[in-house]
Amino acid sequence: MKETSSTASDPRQPSTARPYVPPTVSPQDLPIDYSGFFAVIFGVTGVMLRYKLCSWLAIIFCAQSLANMKNLENDLKQISMAMMFAIMGLVTNYFGPSRLASKQQ
């Protein structure tokens, strides 16, 4: 009699198992993606101040944010914006006029 009562309340029994259902979280309640935030900041700094290091750091943070993406729709918008700033910064730094030539005129 004692064995049947312990097996009925045993959570390892297949008949009492329930599939895991993850809790639903709204996009506003998700934690902040710091790597995506830093990617945007470094990307804008790389474009505006023409710092190559900031543009390269923005690309690195974009890759990190892409690898750790949790919410596809919101994070992809932020990552794509940061990647555009990073690429614009690299293009203007490497293919645009140099800063020294623009200062001398």
In a domain, residue 64? The reply is yes
Domain assignment of residue 39, given as a range: 33-94
Residue 71 counted as domain residue: yes
Query: Which whole-number Å values give the CA distances from 8 to 4, 11, 19, 67, in the listed order?
Result: 6, 8, 19, 44
Is residue 39 domain-resident?
A: yes
Residue 101 is assigned to a structural domain of this protein: no
Identify whether 2 is part of a domain.
Answer: no
CA distances from 94 to 9, 62, 67 (A): 69, 20, 27
What is the pLDDT at residue 64?
A: 94
> Three-class SS of residue 49?
helix
Q: Which CA distances in Å does 7 have to 17, 18, 19, 20?
A: 13, 17, 20, 22
pTM of the model: 0.68
pLDDT at 19: 85
For residue 79, is it within any domain? yes
For the chain, what is the domain count?
Answer: 1
Q: Report pLDDT for 5.
A: 56
Task: Identify whether 55 is part of a domain.
Answer: yes
Residue 104, domain member (yes or no): no
User: Cα separation of 14 and 32, whole Å?
Assistant: 39
Residue ranges of the chain with pLDDT lower than 50? Answer: 1
